[in-house]
Amino acid sequence: MKKSRADRTNGNAPKSIVSAGASPRNYGLSLPGVNDEEFGGSLIVIEGMDGSGRSTQISLLTEWLESEGFAVQTMGLRRSGLVAKDIDALLAENTITRMTLTLMYATDFYDQLEHRIIPALRSDFVVLADRYFYTLIARAAARGIQRDYLHGLYEMALRPDLTFWLNVRPEAAFEREFRKSHTISYWESGRDMSLSNDLFQSFIMYQAKMKKEFEALAEKQGFIAMDGEASVAAVNTELRKRIAAHLGIQRTHYRPSAALASLWR
Cβ closest to other proteins, residue 110 vs residue 165: 110
Cβ closest to other proteins, residue 61 vs residue 84: 84
Cβ closest to other proteins, residue 102 vs residue 236: 102
Cβ closest to other proteins, residue 49 vs residue 142: 142
Q: Number of helices and strands (H, E) in the chain? A: 10, 5
**Residues interacting with other proteins, by CB under 8 A?**
19-20, 29, 31-33, 81-83, 85-86, 90, 96-100, 102-104, 106-107, 110-111, 114-115, 145-146, 148-149, 152-153, 155-156
Contact yes or no for 52/249 (Cβ under 8 A): no
- Residues whose CB is less than 8 angstroms from the CB of residue 258 and which lie 6 or more positions away in sequence, other chains included: none
45: which strand partners?
129, 163
- What does 22-54 look like in DSSP terms, one character per residue? --TTBSS-PPTT--TTS---EEEEEE--TTSSH
CB of 112 to other proteins, least distance (A): 10
CB of 185 to other proteins, least distance (A): 21
Q: Which helix (H) or strand (E) holds 75?
A: strand 72-76
CB of 137 to other proteins, least distance (A): 14
Cβ closest to other proteins, residue 22 vs residue 71: 22
End-to-end CA, the chain:
31
CB of 59 to other proteins, least distance (A): 28
CB of 153 to other proteins, least distance (A): 7
C-alpha distances out from residue 208 to 66, 116, 188, 197, 216, Å: 36, 32, 12, 16, 13
